[in-house]
Amino acid sequence: ERIHTVNQLLKAYALFEKDTEYVIMDNKVKIVDEQTGRIMEGRRYSDGLHQAIEAKENVKIEAATQTYATITLQNYFRMYNKLSGMTGTAETEAGEFWEIYELEVVVIPTNRPIARDDREDYVYKTAREKFNAVIDEVVSMREAGRPVLVGTTSVDISELLSRALKMRKVPHQVLNAKRHQAEAEIVTEAGKPGMVTIATNMAGRGTDIKLSDESKAAGGLAIVGTERHDSRRVDRQLRGRAGRQGDVGSSQFFVSLEDKLMRLFNSERISGLMDRLGLEEGEVIQHSLVTKSIERAQKKVEENNFGTRKRLLEYDDVMNSQRSVIYKRRGNALSGDRIKVDIINMVYDTLGDLVEAYQPSKDWDGFRLDFFRTFAFEPEMDAERFANEDFDAVCNNLFHQATQFYKGKGQRIATAALPVFHQVHQDKNNKFDKILVPITDGKKTLQVTSVLQEVIDTEGQSLITDIEKGISIAIIDDEWKEHLRAMDDLRQSVQGAVYEQKDPLLIYKFESFELFKSLVARINQEIVGFLYRGGLPASDPGQMRQAPAAPVKQPKLQESHPSLDSPVEADTASTRGAAPAAPRPVKMAPVVKEGKTYGRNDVVTVRNMQTGEVKNIKYKKALPLLAQGWVIED
């Protein structure tokens, strides 16, 4: 845990920059989408990374988030029966569209001929020279009466240029993730003569800047790009803000050898060439060969990104098959159309797993204990029959007993709950349509929503269905959430398989299948266990009290509690069964009749207060039942 925390803190300090990957707004860390430049409201980094960034920025550290559902965009779009789309920049990604979605890309001619002047890139040696040239270009365009849109790659660079323009006393507007509320107003003003707008990628997608007649006469909108993006699509989107519907305009990109893209691909070679040519500070290279070299670098980055997305999709395809199974079961539980069939299948599968685990070793006692822990009743079968009958016969016999017990239990719950529903329904002051019904298995309590009128009309049967639906959904959600975390951990751990000359994806498929099998078995057992053990809470808990300690010698323990001043008082309080002053939950001791003690082999009669079931067993066997809420009768 500590190593993981340190790793996340190192990531936060070394890899995540303020005003690039995230911004601080309202004393909160908010993620910025690197493609659109917009704030991703409600999104948080997982695995404690967001908390590490909050600690780094000294803002309030929020609680860690847990992923409930995950899907890649590719698999999300594949869920549609028909797919189509329209964009001005799909041509460069035609191969990916076909490989992932089997969609062809068709180029439609423009409505009017393009009059925009797309100029060759200006290449400078350092970032400082580049930004000086950008400022000079903005000033000259503004003096010519043209509106200017300056495109930047991050919030940080947009604010840097804003400070530089203020020093030159150039009026301008800044559109970035921090000022997204004013987007409409800024875009409306952006087409006026001499108007300068500095924007991140927010203004590079779908923004329609209307030009006034004076702006068109001066030469239209001037696009000034401060850096080439990793993707040609983003550059084309920025260029496309000018020259819309046949309007005049121009686009010019300024690049330095210190830019991220140039550092990745051969900036040293171009830098050496500039030194040999004897270029002085501030001088620029502008040639089609340089522009094509930059585009080739972008193409390599795009190919690398496509490979990453494709690999991600291959991993998600494994998750997608599991997701389909779980979501189908959850959908059945939500609609309730075949919830009964699913529960019957779960009961049979759980019984099969139990018999398969214990029958080969003929461990009848172990089987009885596990069976009772899950199904809350003793199987009517002896050890010899369990050991000698074949697997199917044992399962069928136990399945018949389990279904009969479950029907009786459901009827008892409906009978106990109906008077309460009738009372609420008849009370004219109550105008409830739905009622929350608490269901507990002794460890945790779930609230189930039932429609008042339906429960009365069906004589309580719809309540049983609602209980089955509510418990199934709650347990599936909890287990799926933990499974997602386990799958994330698995995906990280299998990457080490490359050192053994193995394909991590193949190992991931094998291991994830084993994880999924255990998930399904766990969901089945949890749902079945809760349905069989669960019931309505005791109607009057005041009738029950804590029992004296069982007559088994226990070592002396010291208890600490805020309401108890000393260990002596704690010991005294616990032996006489007094409740602590603070409202803190305590583990309930077995409930027995007051004023009477029993030997371990004395036969006693115990009753389940929730189901009404009665048993005559020895006191030593009754102890586990008493801990679950059974009581001893005279």
Q: What is the CATH number of the domain that holds 187?
A: 3.40.50.300
Angle at 282 between CA 140 and CA 276, to 5 degrees: 145
What does the pLDDT read at residue 46? 81
pLDDT band at 596 (very low <50, low <70, confident <90, very high): low
Digit-coded pLDDT (tens) for 507-541: 999 999 999 999 999 999 999 999 999 888 865 43
Digit-coded pLDDT (tens) for 468-492: 999 999 999 999 999 998 998 899 8
pLDDT band at 45 (very low <50, low <70, confident <90, very high): confident
- Mean pLDDT is highest, among 21-35, 426-440, 513-527, 584-598, for 513-527
CATH of the domain at 16: 3.90.1440.10
Reduce the DSSP state of residue 252 to 3 states and report it: strand
Residue 445 inside a domain? The answer is yes
The answer to whether 504 and 512 are in contact (CB under 8 A) is: no
Quote the DSSP letter at residue 537.
P
Mean pLDDT to the nearest integer, 239-243: 89
Same domain, 147 and 262: yes
Digit-coded pLDDT (tens) for 60-98: 998 877 778 888 889 999 899 999 998 888 888 888 899
Residue 72 inside a domain? The answer is no
The answer to whether 428 and 409 are in contact (CB under 8 A) is: no
CA 424 to chain centre: 39
Helix (H) and strand (E) counts in the chain: 21, 14
Same domain, 505 and 550: no
Same domain, 495 and 556: no
The answer to whether 33 and 176 are in contact (CB under 8 A) is: no
The answer to whether 618 and 603 are in contact (CB under 8 A) is: yes
CATH of the domain at 522: 1.10.3060.10
Specify the pTM.
Answer: 0.66
C-alpha distance from residue 115 to each of 130, 239, 339 (Å): 27, 12, 64
Residue 236 inside a domain? The answer is yes
239 has pLDDT over 60? yes
Q: Measure the N-to-C terminal CA separation of the chain; round to a whole number of Å.
A: 53
Mean pLDDT to the nearest integer, 578-586: 38
What does the pLDDT read at residue 562? 35
Same domain, 486 and 580: no
Same domain, 380 and 484: yes
Residue 137 inside a domain? The answer is yes
Mean pLDDT to the nearest integer, 33-44: 80
pLDDT band at 634 (very low <50, low <70, confident <90, very high): low
Same domain, 501 and 566: no
Mean pLDDT to the nearest integer, 319-337: 91
Residue 44 inside a domain? The answer is yes
577 has pLDDT over 60? no
Same domain, 119 and 204: yes
- The mean predicted confidence, pLDDT, of the chain is 82
**Domain hosting residue 516, numbered range:** 336-533
Same domain, 367 and 447: yes
Structural domain count of the chain:
4
Query: How far is 254 from 134, CA to CA, in rounded Å?
Result: 7
Q: Which residue has the higher pLDDT, 378 or 615?
A: 378
What does the pLDDT read at residue 550? 42
357 has pLDDT over 80? yes
Q: Which residue has the higher pLDDT, 594 or 294?
A: 294
Same domain, 141 and 271: yes
Long-range contacts of 86-94 (CB under 8 A, 24+ apart): 88/236, 88/237, 88/240, 89/232, 89/233, 89/236, 89/237, 89/240, 92/232, 92/233, 92/236, 92/302, 93/233, 93/302
What does the pLDDT read at residue 197? 93
The residue whose two tokens read 């099998």 is 517
pLDDT band at 346 (very low <50, low <70, confident <90, very high): very high
Q: How many CB atoms lie within 10 A of CB 100?
A: 18
Token code pair at residue 332:
């059945």
Angle at 134 between CA 133 and CA 135, to 5 degrees: 90
Query: How far is 437 from 414, CA to CA, in rounded Å?
Result: 12
Digit-coded pLDDT (tens) for 121-151: 898 888 899 999 999 999 999 999 999 999 9
Query: How far is 251 from 127, CA to CA, in rounded Å?
Result: 19
Residue that terminates a domain, selected from 512, 533, 554: 533
Same domain, 135 and 272: yes
Residue 310 inside a domain? The answer is no
- Amino acid, res. 624: P
Query: How far is 306 from 249, CA to CA, in rounded Å?
Result: 32
Angle at 56 between CA 52 and CA 57, to 5 degrees: 120
Give all strands of the β-sheet with 603-608 in edge-to-edge order.
614-618, 603-608, 630-633
Same domain, 50 and 125: no
Question: Per DSSP, what are the bridge partners of residue 448?
Answer: 437
The answer to whether 77 and 83 are in contact (CB under 8 A) is: yes
Angle at 8 between CA 3 and CA 12, to 5 degrees: 145
pLDDT band at 542 (very low <50, low <70, confident <90, very high): very low
Query: How far is 32 from 178, CA to CA, in rounded Å?
Result: 10
The answer to whether 588 and 545 are in contact (CB under 8 A) is: no
What does the pLDDT read at residue 324? 92
The residue whose two tokens read 């994330």 is 488
Residue 328 inside a domain? The answer is no
What is the number of residues in the chain?
A: 634
What does the pLDDT read at residue 568? 33
367 has pLDDT over 60? yes
Query: How far is 588 from 629, CA to CA, in rounded Å?
Result: 9
The answer to whether 347 and 403 are in contact (CB under 8 A) is: yes
Mean pLDDT to the nearest integer, 432-458: 86
Residue 70 inside a domain? The answer is no
What does the pLDDT read at residue 266? 62
Task: Say which range, 264-268, 282-286, 513-517, has the weakest mean pLDDT.
Answer: 264-268
Same domain, 146 and 11: no
Q: Which residue has the higher pLDDT, 66 or 615?
A: 615
What does the pLDDT read at residue 574? 35
Mean pLDDT to the nearest integer, 312-341: 91
Digit-coded pLDDT (tens) for 175-231: 887 776 677 788 888 889 999 999 887 766 667 888 988 999 999 999 999 998 888
What does the pLDDT read at residue 563? 35
Query: How far is 372 from 365, CA to CA, in rounded Å?
Result: 11
Digit-coded pLDDT (tens) for 382-410: 888 888 889 999 999 999 999 999 999 99
Specify burial of residue 66 (Cβ count, 10 A radius: 0-12, 13-18, 19+): exposed
C-alpha distance from residue 56 to each of 3, 27, 28, 64 (Å): 17, 13, 12, 16
CB-facing half-sphere around the CA of 33: CA atoms within 13 A: 14
C-alpha distance from residue 89 to each of 107, 234, 321 (Å): 10, 8, 32
Reduce the DSSP state of residue 605 to 3 states and report it: strand
Per cent of the chain over pLDDT 70 is: 86
